[in-house]
Amino acid sequence: MTNKVLVTYGDGYGPAVIRAAEAVLRTVSPDTELLHAKIGADAYDNTGYALPADTLDLVAECDSMLSGPVNMDGIPERNPVSTIKRQMELYIEYGEFYPLCDYIGTEGLDTVLISPTVEGALNVYESESLDGVASEYYTSIENISKIFSKSVELAEKKQRTEICMVSDNVLYPSREELIRSTFHKYYADTEFNVRDISTKLAMFDLAHNPSSMNTIISDIHSATCMWGELTGLVGGSGLMPRMYIGDRKSLYVPSEVYPDDAVGRELNPTSAILSVGLMMLVFGNREAYDLILKSVREMYRLGRTTPDVGGKLNAEKFAEGVSSLILQELKSE
C-alpha cells in the first residue's frame, strides 16, 4: 500500500527547510505519494483562512503530514497546527536527541523523549471571574493507557530496553499519582526496565551522565523542562527530529528555533530532514530511517553543513548532499 503524505510549507523559513526535507523524502521513498496544501499566513493571504477547508480535506485523506512553521502574527484565528493535531487525533509528541558529530552535542547522549500533547491528551476547561481565572484539567485512565501503549510501540521500534517516567506531584498531586500508578501497572508485565523520578532529578542525571536515560516519558508539566535541557545537550534548537503521533496518523515538523538561537539556524533543514527519517520509521522502513541518519551525520562529519554550524551550504545544497549519500549507499548494496 502506497503511503500518502500531505506537505505544507508554512511561512518564514518553512518553505526552504520543508522543500529540502521533501527532496530527501523523494530520494529515500520514491513511491510515497505527496500532496500539497497551504496553511498559516500564506494560506490566510490567499484564502482568508489560516486553515482552508481544502487543506482540512487533504489532512483527512493522508496518512501523514510534513509541515513547516506557521506565522500567526495579526491573524485572528487559532493556530492551524493545533487544529490539525486535534483532527488527526495526535496525542503524543515524540523527539530524538543525539550528537550529530564530534563538534556538536554531548557525547554519550542518545535519548528518546515522549510526552502527551495538550490537544490530544487533556480536556481543559477555564472560567473567568473578576478575581481571576479557574482552570480545570480532566485526565482519563483511557487516555493515559493509550499514551503508554503507543510509547511501548515507539520504544520497540527504536529497540529500547529502559523507560523512565519523569513527573512531579506538586501542582496536581492526584493526577500525577494516577499517571504514576497506571505507568507501573502497565509496564509490570513488559520486558522494559522501568523507573520513575522527579523532573529535578532527571535534569540532574542528564547533565552529569547523558547516557543515563535512553527513553523518557514525561508528563505535560515536566515536558517543557525536559525538551529544553535535551535541546541544549544536542547543541541548540532546530537540529533534532520531532513528530506528533496518534493511532492512525502522524505529523512531522522541524523542531522549533528558540529566539536566542535563531540567528543562522532558521535555514538549517537538519531537523526537517531527520523528521522524514522518523516518518520512515513509523512507516516500518527502518532501513530508510538509518540511511537518512547516517547520511546527515556524514555531511556533518565532512563539514558540509549550513552556516549556523560552520559550513557554507544553503538548505537546498545540504539536501542534495544528503540525497547523494543515500543513493550511494543504495547502489552499493
Q: pLDDT of 123-135, one tens digit each?
A: 667 788 788 887 7
In a domain, 269, yes or no: yes
Place 258 in a pLDDT band, splitting at 50, 70 and 90: low
Confidence band (pLDDT; 50, 70, 90) for 315? Answer: very high
Residue 272 in domain: yes
Are the C-beta atoms of residues 297 and 271 closer than 8 Å to each other? Answer: no
Confidence (pTM): 0.92
pLDDT band at 263 (very low <50, low <70, confident <90, very high): low
What confidence tens digit (pLDDT) does each residue in 289-307 have?
Answer: 999 999 999 999 999 999 9
In-domain check, residue 66:
yes
Alpha carbons 265 and 256: distance in angstroms, whole number:
10
Query: In this structure, is residue 93 part of a structural domain?
Result: yes
Q: Evaluate whether residue 179 is within a structural domain.
A: no
**Residue 40 located in a structural domain:** yes
Contact 215, 158 (CB under 8 A): yes
Confidence at residue 174, expressed as pLDDT on a 0 to 100 scale: 82
Per-residue pLDDT band for 121 (boundaries 50, 70, 90) equals: low
Question: What whole-number percentage of the chain has pLDDT above 70?
Answer: 95
CATH of the domain at 246: 3.40.718.10
Per-residue cell: 53: 477547508
The domain tally of the chain equals 1
* Separation of alpha carbons 260 and 198, rounded Å: 27
**Average pLDDT in the 55-74 region?**
93
Q: Please indicate, yes or no, if residue 333 is contained in any of the structural domains.
A: yes
* Structural domain for 54, as ranges: 1-100+234-333
- Tens digit of each residue's pLDDT (9 = 90 or more) over 171-196: 777 878 888 888 888 888 788 899 99
| Inside any domain, residue 228 | no
For residues 117 and 79, give the distance between their C-alpha atoms in angstroms, rounded to a whole number: 15
pLDDT confidence of 220, banded at 50, 70, 90? confident
Cα diameter, the chain: 70
Residue 199 has pLDDT above 70, yes or no: yes
